[in-house]
Structure 1
C-alpha cells in the first residue's frame, strides 16, 4: 500500500528521507463525514452510502473524536448474531483511538499504520477534535 498523496519515485534512501521530513498535516485528507456516537449502525451505513465514503469519523456529544469506523466493520457488526436495530456506534467502537497528530512525521505514521494494519487513521488536534484523516490508498 502507498500513502494517499503519491510520493515521487526516488531512490529508497531519498524516499525514506522525504517521509521523515513530511508531517501528517502535510498530506492528510479533509475530515469528511462525521457522525455522533449515538447513531445506529443502520443509519451510519446509510450516511456512508450517501456520502460515498469508506469510513466515518465518530464523535461524542462534546464533538471530540472517539474513533473511525469503516464500512467493513459496520457490515460485520450488522451481519453478527448480537446485532439489533438499536446497536449504536459507541457500542461498536469500544476504546477511543488510535489517533495521530498533524505534527507526527509521515515515517512514524506509516510505521504505526502498517504495524496496526490500519487503512485510515483520524488526525486530531490537542483537544481531541477531528482535523482530518490519514488514509492509505488501495
Structure 2
C-alpha cells in the first residue's frame, strides 16, 4: 500500500510565482515514488491539486510531478500500469521544475 502524506497549505501561498525550491519546501500532497501514474492522477484529483511532491522510501523529497507530466506519460504509447513515479523522475538526480 502506498502512503499519502497531506500537509495544510498556508493562507498566503501563491503557487503562481514560486521557484522549484519553494515548491519542494511548500506543504501539499506528498507521495511515495513507488506510486503508479494512475493512482497519482487520482490523488491529484481528490486533493484538487495540479502537482505532487514525490518522496523516496526514506521520506526524502526527490522531485515534483505535475498533472501535465502524468497525463503525457499516461497518454503515450509506451505506458503500462507498471510505470511508477520513480520511472518518470528518472532517479533521484532529476531536478524538480516549477
Q: Normalization by structure 1: what TM-score?
A: 0.51
Following the alignment from structure 1 to structure 2, what is the Cα–Cα distance between the partners of residues 88 and 29?
A: 23
Aligned residue for 1:90? 86
Which of structures 1 and 2 has the larger relative contact order (alpha carbons within 8 angstroms, sep 6+)? 1
**Does structure 1 residue 56 correspond to structure 2 residue 70?**
no
- Structure 2 alignment gaps of length 5 or more: 1-15
Q: What is the CA RMSD across the aligned residues, in angstroms?
A: 2.2
- Structure 1 alignment gaps of length 5 or more: 5-23, 100-117, 121-138
- Partner of 1:42: helix, strand, or coil? helix
- Partner of 1:50: helix, strand, or coil? helix
Q: Which has the larger radius of gyration?
A: 1
Aligned residue for 1:72? 68
Following the alignment from structure 1 to structure 2, what is the Cα–Cα distance between the partners of residues 3 and 47?
A: 24
* Alignment deviations for residues 114-133 of structure 1 (CA, whole Å, 9 cap, x no partner): xxxx4x2xxxxxxxxxxxxx
* Alignment deviations for residues 84-112 of structure 1 (CA, whole Å, 9 cap, x no partner): 0111000111143426xxxxxxxxxxxxx
Following the alignment from structure 1 to structure 2, what is the Cα–Cα distance between the partners of residues 36 and 95?
A: 13
Following the alignment from structure 1 to structure 2, what is the Cα–Cα distance between the partners of residues 92 and 3?
A: 24
Instruction: Decide which of 30, 33, 49 is 2:29's aligned counterpart.
Output: 33
Q: Report how far residue 29 of structure 1 moved.
A: 7.1
Matched length: 79
- Partner of 1:56: helix, strand, or coil? strand
Q: Would the alpha carbon gap of residues 29 and 95 (structure 1) be closer, same or farther in structure 2, given more than 3 Å must change? A: closer
